Structures are given as C-alpha cells and as structure tokens.
Amino acid sequence: MTNKQTVIVTGGCGFIGANFVRLLIQSGAYNVVNLDALTYAANPLSLADLEGHPQYTFVKGNITDRALVASLFEKYQPAGIFHLAAESHVDRSIVNAEDFVQTNVVGTYTLLEAARAYWNSLPQERKETFRFLHVSTDEVFGSLGPDGWFTEETPYAPNSPYSASKAASDHFVRAFHHTYGLPAIITNCSNNYGPYQFPEKMIPLMILNAISGKPLPVYGDGSNVRDWLYVEDHCKAVKLAFEKGTPGEVYVIGGNNEQKNINLVHKICDILDEVAPPAEVPQLHQQGLKSYRELIRFVTDRPGHDKRYAINPAKIRRELGWQPEVGFEAGLRRTIDWYLHHPEWVDQVSSGAYGEWIKKNYAWREAKEAK
Ligand code: NAD
Ligand code: TYD
C-alpha cells in the first residue's frame, strides 16, 4: 500500500467494478481494497493485470459477512466506500430473487452498519470527509411512457424483483443519512455498456451470439427503449460524485442516448457486417449468411418488461460539471472490438467454445489489422 487515500470498492470484479477499479488506480490518487465474493458474474481475468500492484488489494468475501466487513474498515481505515456489489440481472431475478434480497438488501444494510460504526469512531476532520457512495440504477423508478425523463425527484416504482431489491437498498442508504447523519450519496445510472460485461446482458450477448452465428433473441417486438451510457463515463460520474458531491444528495446519470432495442441490435449487426463481414468468416460463409441481421429472432417477451428508461442528467451536469465523453457509435465500435479481441476472457465465463470459434473463424481479422 502507498500513502494515497485508501477506499473500499465492493463488487470490483464485476462489469462496472472492473472498469471503476482501473479508473481509480489510473488516477493515481487512491489505494483500492476490492471486496468481491466472485459470484458467476465476476471474472478474475478482468483485473488479473493488477495483481501485485502496490495500489491494489483484493479480498475475496461476501458483503453480508458483518465481521469481515468490520475488519476491513478497521484494518484499512478507508476515506470512503464505493458500493457496487449486487446481483444485477433482471431475468435471473424473475426466476429466483433470493440472492437479490440477500446481496442487494441484506448486504447493503450490513455495509451501512459497519460503515456507521467505523465513521462514528473517526476524528472530526476525517468524519467530515468520509463518504458512502451507493451505486444504483434508474430501474428503481419503474417504466416511462413515450415522454419525459427520470430525475432525482421521480418517485420510486420498481417493477422487477431486481429493481425492488435495489430500491430497498437505496431506501436504507437514504435512511442512514437521515437518521444517523452518515455521509452517503446515491447515484442512479441508466444502462451501461462496454468491456468486461457478462454476456447475459443485451449488448455482449448480441455481439457474441452474432459472431458465433447463433440467433439474436429480441424480446417482444423490440420496441422497448433503454438509455445507454459507455461504462467509463459512468465510472467518471461516480468518482466525481464521491469527490465533489454533497452528502444526502442523489445524482441521476445518463448520456441522453435512448435506443429502441431493435435499432440497437441492427446497429450491432451493421458494425459487425463492416468489421467482420460474414463472407470472410469461414463457417458463417458456409452457412450462407450475408448479414448478421439475418440472425435476429423475435422471442417471447420478458414478464413485466419495462417499456422505456430515460435520464435527465441536468443536476450532475450543472452541479458537478460531469458530461459523457464517449459517443454511442464510437463506444459501440470500441465494445465490439474488445469482445472480438478477448476470446480468453469470454471463455473464462462460458463453456470455452467461444475462444476456439473466434480463433478459427476470425483469424483473418488479426492478419488484416497487423498490416
Ligand atoms: P455485475 O453483476 O457485473 O457485477 C457484480 C459484482 O458484485 C460481481 O463481481 C460479483 O461477484 C459481486 N458480488 C455479487 N454479490 C456479492 C456479495 N454478496 N458480496 C460481494 N460481492 C458480490 O454488476 P454490474 O453491472 O457491474 O453492476 C454494478 C452495480 O451497478 C450494481 O449495483 C448495479 O445495480 C449498478 N448498475 C448497473 C448498471 C448496468 O447497466 N450494468 C446500470 C446502473 C447501475
Ligand atoms: P438487459 O441488458 O438485460 O438490461 P436491463 O433489463 O437491465 O435493461 O436488457 C436490455 C434490454 O434488452 C431490455 O429491454 C431487455 C432486452 N433484451 C432482449 O431483447 N434480449 C435479450 O436477450 C436480453 C438479455 C435483453
């Protein structure tokens, strides 16, 4: 450990967590203690290159383990905590919400109690600067009609077991600020995309299915709308909220980038048609595939599927000076490129068949790029 500010990050081996831990370390201002239980959603490869880094410590453990969490506060005396660990996939929560209640509700409560005990023990000047930064989602606000946006004032109306568990966690964070004065901040962000996202979520699932010649399952008629933000822009907003935000405040985060699901899938297919044309992919060529769009299939809708999410990020723009830096087309191209170039990462969280397939069928791409 170096003599920088030490912070705890929970869920650092997940999608946003891995991008976030990198951002903190690269900023040069923080030592990071990453507490992660390594569930199915974690990929140890995401941060493998940080092993042994003087600013990075990994602790395998569960946020519901009160003794462990308390011992980490005691040992590392952190300047704050970024809480990202969660069960995060709506479809899984529809099948069984038990883990969502445990991690998202009980786990958040456990962290809050440990943080409160630690915070109470701090000298006044460290008490004033301590922050509990709770990373949440716009899904707690429910579903929008064709018009309007979610803001910090939007009433909670969670519709899925996932969003209900996140809403409960937000309420506990709010209550710990209101009742005990714990300097907590909540951020509610829209859908993220980018490298290191587990391929059960829409964008990586579509990319990896497409390049493997598998069907692209679009729920319902594909008219549902999500407001997509490149993951690094979200991470920068969370860091800014921790450093400059006001305790007790909420900041909603989004990139003003609404996309209908079907249009997004078309975009992914069109970029892939350009950068990895099926005609040049041996097996897809043999299948007679001309465009990745031919793989699209409309499938049974998700039960209770929220129609539209959209964020008005005016407050974080105005008060903290945040703005997204990565445009959607550029971010999507970057993401597609990342998945094409990291078959070993994909293999780690799947059967191991993707890597072989990519090496066998997309090797021509590497040769072309090397020229
Ligand atoms: P993820 O599912 O990719 O990663 C979650 C991480 O938390 C994993 O590394 C997992 O091992 C860890 N974890 C799960 N249960 C744990 C437990 N009990 N103890 C310790 N670690 C545990 O999730 P993500 O997409 O990176 O989301 C991170 C946070 O951001 C979540 O709180 C989520 O609600 C929120 N969020 C996500 C999005 C999005 O689009 N992905 C958007 C807005 C907000
Ligand atoms: P997802 O990535 O699961 O995020 P969330 O449900 O948290 O918004 O899904 C994004 C959108 O894509 C959502 O409207 C559901 C839809 N979707 C599909 O159409 N097909 C799929 O296979 C998946 C995983 C999602």
Answer whether 37 contacts ligand 1 (Cβ < 6 A): yes
Domain assignment of residue 69, yes or no: yes
Kindly give the number of the ligand 2 atom that is closest to the alpha carbon of 162. Answer: 7
113 catalytic per annotation: no
CA 159 / ligand 1 centre spacing (Å): 19
Which residue is catalytic, options 56, 87, 118, 138?
Answer: 138
CA 358 / ligand 2 centre spacing (Å): 24
CA 30 / ligand 2 centre spacing (Å): 34
DSSP 101: I
Q: Where are the beta strands (DSSP E) in 61-179?
A: 80-83, 131-137
Instruction: For ligand 1, pick from 84, 239, 250 the residue to mutate: most ligand atoms within 8 Å of CB.
Output: 84
Give the Cα separation of 159 and 163 in Å (integer): 6
pLDDT of residue 2: 58
139 catalytic per annotation: yes
The one-digit pLDDT tens for each residue of the chain (371 residues) are: 456 999 999 999 999 999 999 999 999 999 999 999 999 999 989 999 999 999 999 999 999 999 999 999 999 999 999 999 999 999 999 999 999 999 999 999 999 999 999 999 999 999 999 999 999 999 999 999 999 999 999 999 999 999 999 999 999 999 999 999 999 999 999 999 999 999 999 999 999 999 999 999 999 999 999 999 999 999 999 999 999 999 999 999 999 999 999 999 999 999 999 999 999 999 999 999 999 999 999 999 999 999 999 999 999 999 999 999 999 999 999 999 999 999 999 998 887 777 787 778 887 777 777 76
Domain assignment of residue 214, yes or no: no
Give the Cα separation of 120 and 261 in Å (integer): 47
Closest CA to 11 of 171, 164, 238, 167: 238
Whose atoms come closest to the Cα of 197: which ligand? 1
Domain assignment of residue 327, yes or no: no
Domain assignment of residue 362, yes or no: no
What CATH number is attached to the domain comprising 22? 3.40.50.720
Domain assignment of residue 159, yes or no: yes
Whose atoms come closest to the Cα of 169: which ligand? 1
Residues framing ligand 2 (Cβ under 6 A): 90, 191, 201-202, 205, 217-219, 224, 226, 261, 302
Q: b/e string for 272-297 if b means 16 or more Cβ within 10 A? A: bbeebbbeebeebeeeebeebbebbe
Domain assignment of residue 47, yes or no: yes
pLDDT of residue 351: 72
CB neighbour list of residue 152: distance below 8 Å, 6 or more residues apart: 249, 250, 251, 252, 315
CA 277 / ligand 1 centre spacing (Å): 34
DSSP 103: I
Q: Which domain holds residue 43?
A: 5-198+228-256
Whose atoms come closest to the Cα of 268: which ligand? 2
Q: What is the number of structural domains in the chain?
A: 1
CA 13 / ligand 1 centre spacing (Å): 9
Long-range contacts of 335-339 (CB under 8 A, 24+ apart): 335/193, 335/194, 335/195, 335/203, 335/204, 335/207, 336/207, 336/268, 336/271, 336/272, 336/275, 337/275, 338/194, 338/195, 339/195, 339/204, 339/207, 339/208, 339/211
Domain assignment of residue 84, yes or no: yes
CA 205 / ligand 2 centre spacing (Å): 9
Q: Which helix or strand (DSSP H or E) is residue 168 part of?
A: helix 161-180
* Greatest pairwise CA separation for the chain in angstroms: 70
User: Cβ-count burial of 2 within 10 angstroms (0-12 exposed, 13-18 middle, 19+ buried)?
Assistant: exposed
Which residue is catalytic, options 30, 36, 76, 139?
Answer: 139
Place of tokens 């594909």: 222
Domain assignment of residue 270, yes or no: no
Give the Cα separation of 31 and 20 in Å (integer): 13
- Count CB-CB contacts under 10 A for residue 313: 25
Answer whether 17 contacts ligand 1 (Cβ < 6 A): yes
pLDDT of residue 359: 79
DSSP 105: I
Whose atoms come closest to the Cα of 68: which ligand? 1
The protein residue with its alpha carbon nearest to ligand 2, atom 7, reads 90
